[in-house]
Amino acid sequence: MAQVTKPARYIGGELGACEPLHEPGRVAWLLIYPDTYEIGLPNQGLQILYEILNEREDALAERAYAPWTDMERAMRSAGIPLFSLETTRPAAEFDVLAFNLSAELTYTNVLNLIDLAGLAVRSKERTGDAPLVVAGGHCAFNPEPLADFIDAFVLGDGEEVVGEISEVLLDRVADHPRGRHELLRALARLDGVYVPALYEARYDGTSLVGVVPRSRDVPERVEKRAIGDLGEWPFPKQQLVPLVEVVHDRLNVEVFRGCTRGCRFCQAGMITRPVRERPASQVDEMVRAGLARTGYDEVALTSLSSADFSGIEHAVSSVINDPQCSGQVSVSLPSLRVDAFTVGIAAEIQKVRRTGLTFAPEGGTWRMRQVMNKLIREEDLYSAVDSAFAQGWRRVKLYFLIGLPTETDEDVLGIAELARRCADIGHRYHHNVTLTTSVGGFVPKPHTPFQWFGQDTIEELRRKVGMLRDALRGARGVSLRWHGAEATAAEGIVSRGDRRVGAVVEHVWRAGGTFQEWSEHFDLGLWTAGLEAAGLSLEDSVYRHREQHEVLPWDHLSAGLHRDFLWQDFSEALHEHVLEDCRWTPCYDCGVCTGLPVEHVVASSVPPAGGSQGTGQDVSVGGLMPVHFVHKEHRDMAVSAAGGAEDPVARRSLGSGPRARTTSGARSMGIVDTCASGGGA
Amino acid sequence: MIVRMRFGKLGKVRWTSHRDVARMWERALRRAKLPVAYTGGFSPRARLSFGLALPTGCESVAEYLDVALEAELEPALVAERVCPLLPRGIGVLGAGEPEPGSGSLQEEVTSCTWEISVVRSTRSELDEVLSRLMGAASLPVLRERKGHVVSDDLRPSLLALFAQHTHDELGTTLVAELGTRPRGVRPAELAELLDIELGLARRTCQWIERGGSKFEPLDVLPAVPAVAVERAS
């Protein structure tokens, strides 16, 4: 231990950790996050299941995380297998190894951890009493790249199904010797469970033509699970408090699940529908009890867009004004909407500890934001930034994606223009401001309207970033950050890959490519060599636009969304048509509420102040630039463009004007890099 | 008022860092709802002050911290309330008030006593190497500091070294009293000087030497008989 970096990540001992008793009649789960302890520990999904399983009489759960490379070397050379944190029990002694799949580039770690547990990595080579290997999480919505290695995937919310899996496994323990195959068939009968070995991937030449059941007793299509009422699942009640510093080191209270803002690039928003809010009184109670129990001085109200929570003002003010918190507890809202109202809340809650403020306009021009349905008007952004600087912030961060459908160079340069202007606003209030502009390349994700879209090539992404760098040269106060185009391409291989990509993942792992999420370990050469060995190419698997009727590798799996709806929404996107948030406007039938036995649970009957994605907004003027925000020399231009000095809102050329683009999804679109989750700060 | 507490760090939790321990205390004090004083400004922090950092991986039964409180409370009561809320392996061993006018722990402590297990060497090998070290006029080691290689003489900090046989899990132990000036010496550096393999190191005392007398930072010991350090593993 003295030889490894940060040894405390291997000792457990967190407040809230259980040391369960292993005994007959209890199915032993090892919940594994396939990245480092510091990244994995805060994962709320894993912690929720950890508690639910340990509360059950017929199950128990422990945890494991990926040991860093130095620790792994030490373990392998001493013959120590992957072990649980709580009771240092070898992984192979558990009944189930359950992986959380939050990011595609962790897949090589998944294989490595199965191997470190002492099991065969390929599921068909695991026999008899070998633990069952299961996986869930957002990436499970396209499980095909891991189909050869994982015995069963869970789609959607795991709260209920972990109990059902435990019951099936307990039966197995009881009437031994039910074979492994029988067990898999029993699991496949559970709603939301996909057992890839029971499905055959069929090809016509090199094209996938279907993933079909091998026998009649398994469903042709697996629907995701969704809990109806978040209020029935007030977890985690005993959030783990680590001994060492981790990311998001604070109390987290989930205020709602799901999102209907309808950002077309965002997989998280699509696959977690419908919106299910937690009752405000329960949020209060979870915050109060959580702070008292953990001693944290920060609480995050988490969701995909927390400012939309019906009870947000109440929730925030009750923490801030609680005498028990006595001014020392800060609240954070990890995904901020972009408007002045949100900044108002942020000012209220960050009275205590004011760090930076982050907004995610995602697109540099109003036109681009209409395409992606991220309906932040120029006016909203500038007034948000203005009020942030006016209220004392000096550091503002903006997130953008490049490589989106229909993107032109003008759209990319719009990012630079927007960043410069925001910095100008800041300079009216402060001598020094930092405007961090973070740019990621877009990776199209399954079950989203952009799932058909061909990703930008590495070269194209680099060109666009170079263009931005040139445009921002000398811009005072603006700093440009950029995620590597190579990692974006690798993520693209896996994101929409079919079963053949499993060989690529295995190749990268066997060549030593673990921790591919970490720039110091990432190696595109391993991925391209793997593609070549598997007879695949970046061109075909990443850059190619999919055809409208082409079979997609996840067509046999459902997040509740109609494929027709997704295609329709993609077509609308290409025409710059926007789609309103359905929480407060009539249903447009995406399929989730009508197809699944759940529906929206939203306390407020009116949209939040400031509007939401078209509801309560006048989107026809979204590209208009408020004249008082325009810099002096820009102002003259703006005024002349508007054709009259008396007009309070001057038309800028940003979101209008002719441009070359196609409307059918053909290739003249640029693309680039990564980041299709959350949309949040 | 300032309450000074002596605490231990034993077992697995020794793999946490000095900073980690500081965070554990902050959270435990908040959970105990004690009237801890905070700094002002945009980033209020609890006013805690820790003594010399304990190297990660070392145990101790002689760590100290000073907590500033906004109200007058019996130090023993403070210890009693916070102790059960600390992670396993961290426990309060005593509490009191520092002498009025005394400086910070970091300034005042002049030496520490360590007990370090000796992994392979025999008693006679150990005695021999210890007397060689204590007989040396200087013991230079090379260290890189701010990009420059400098030579530090560790000899002035070696105040006492002797071997001792114990019956607990440490087996044969080396007892070392190491000064903090002109610089402190870590057990790992001592092992390097001795050129023998050393195992678990435990700090057993911190000393303040002033005006010819030598005493510990807290003389009321043990103030909290009810709580003891529980070994984590």
- pLDDT cut 90: percent of chain A above it: 71
pLDDT of residue A266: 96
Query: Does residue A174 have a pLDDT over 70?
Result: no
pLDDT of residue B124: 82
B2-106 and B110-215 share one fold: yes
Surface-to-core class of residue A48, CB atoms within 10 Å of its CB (0-12 exposed, 13-18 middle, 19+ buried): buried
Please indicate whether residue B219 or residue B134 has the higher confidence score (pLDDT).
B134
Domains of chain A in sequence order = 7-207 (3.40.50.2300)
- Structure token pair of residue A26: 């209890």
Query: Does residue B100 have a pLDDT over 90?
Result: no
- pLDDT cut 70: percent of chain B above it: 91
Is residue A90 reached through a cis peptide bond, with omega within 30 degrees of 0 on the bond before it?
Answer: no
* A45-98 pLDDT tens trace: 999 999 999 999 999 999 999 999 999 999 999 999 999 999 999 999 999 999
Instruction: State how far the Cα of A265 lies from the Cα of A4, in Å rounded to an integer.
Output: 40
Query: Does residue A105 have a pLDDT over 80?
Result: yes
Mean pLDDT over A532-554 rounds to 97
Flag if A352 and B12 touch (Cβ within 8 Å).
Answer: no
Best A11, A251, A294, A355 residue to mutate vs chain B (most B CBs within 10 Å): A11
Mean pLDDT over A380-386 rounds to 88
Mean pLDDT over A190-200 rounds to 98
- In the numeric block, the tokens 């860092």 are attached to B17
pLDDT band of residue A645 (cuts 50, 70, 90) is: very low
CATH number for the segment(s) B110-215: 3.30.70
* A261-290 pLDDT tens trace: 999 999 999 999 999 999 999 999 999 999
Looking at every residue in chain A, the average pLDDT score rounds to 88
pLDDT of residue A559: 97
Mean pLDDT over A395-417 rounds to 96
Sign of the CA dihedral running A286, A292, A295, A297:
positive
pLDDT of residue A611: 67
Flag if B38 and A328 touch (Cβ within 8 Å).
Answer: yes
pLDDT band of residue A538 (cuts 50, 70, 90) is: very high
| Vertex A633: Cα angle to A628 and A639 (nearest 5) | 55
The domain defined by B2-106 carries CATH number 3.30.70.580: yes
ipTM reported for the complex surpasses 0.85: yes
Of A534-548, A615-629, A630-644, B154-168, minimum mean pLDDT range: A630-644
Best A5, A15, A243 residue to mutate vs chain B (most B CBs within 10 Å): A243
Distance between the two ends of chain A, CA-based, in angstroms? 36
Of A60-64, A171-175, A548-552, B92-96, minimum mean pLDDT range: A171-175
Of A343-357, A542-556, A605-619, minimum mean pLDDT range: A343-357
Please indicate whether residue A320 or residue A14 has the higher confidence score (pLDDT).
A14
pLDDT of residue A346: 73
Count chain A–chain B contacts defined by CB atoms under 8 A.
63
Task: Assess B183–A contact: CB distance below 8 Å, yes or no.
Answer: no
Query: Does residue A244 have a pLDDT over 50?
Result: yes
pLDDT of residue A651: 32
Instruction: State how far the Cα of A424 lies from the Cα of B104, in Å rounded to an integer.
Output: 46
Mean pLDDT over A626-646 rounds to 45
pLDDT of residue B106: 87
CB atoms within 10 A of CB B2: 15
Q: Give the distance from residue A8's alpha carbon to the nearest chain B alpha carbon, in angstroms.
A: 5
Q: Give the distance from residue B27's alpha carbon to the nearest chain A alpha carbon, in angstroms.
A: 4
| Residues shown for chain A | 681
Query: Does residue A415 have a pLDDT over 70?
Result: yes
Task: Assess A327–B contact: CB distance below 8 Å, yes or no.
Answer: yes
Surface-to-core class of residue A597, CB atoms within 10 Å of its CB (0-12 exposed, 13-18 middle, 19+ buried): exposed
- pLDDT cut 70: percent of chain A above it: 88
Instruction: State how far the Cα of A96 lies from the Cα of A27, in Å rounded to an integer.
Output: 8
- In the numeric block, the tokens 């029988």 are attached to A182
pTM of the model: 0.90
pLDDT of residue A239: 97
Of A245, A296, A353, the CB nearest to B42: A353
pLDDT band of residue A327 (cuts 50, 70, 90) is: low
Residue B31 in contact with residue A294, Cβ under 8 Å?
yes
Write out the DSSP string of A594-642: HHSS---B-S-SSPPTT-BTTBTS-GGGTT-EEGGGS-HHHHHHHHHHH
- In the numeric block, the tokens 């894993």 are attached to A46
B147 sits in the region (left: phi over 0; alpha: psi -120 to 50; else beta) called left
Flag if B15 and A11 touch (Cβ within 8 Å).
Answer: yes
pLDDT of residue A178: 61
Query: Does residue A681 have a pLDDT over 50?
Result: no
Residue ranges of domains in chain B: 2-106, 110-215
- Structure token pair of residue A277: 């809010």
Mean pLDDT over B16-39 rounds to 94
pLDDT band of residue B40 (cuts 50, 70, 90) is: confident
β-strand pairing of A330-332 with A298-302: parallel
Task: Enumerate the β-bridge partners of residue A222.
Answer: A557
Please indicate whether residue A507 or residue A581 has the higher confidence score (pLDDT).
A507
- Amino acid (1-letter code) at residue A583: R
Task: Tell me A376's DSSP state.
Answer: -
pLDDT of residue A56: 97
Of B19, B27, B57, the CB nearest to A295: B27
Query: Does residue A634 have a pLDDT over 60?
Result: no
* A434-444 pLDDT tens trace: 999 999 999 99
pLDDT of residue A637: 44
Please indicate whether residue A599 or residue A236 has the higher confidence score (pLDDT).
A236
pLDDT of residue A175: 56
Task: Assess B143–A contact: CB distance below 8 Å, yes or no.
Answer: no
Query: Does residue A548 have a pLDDT over 50?
Result: yes
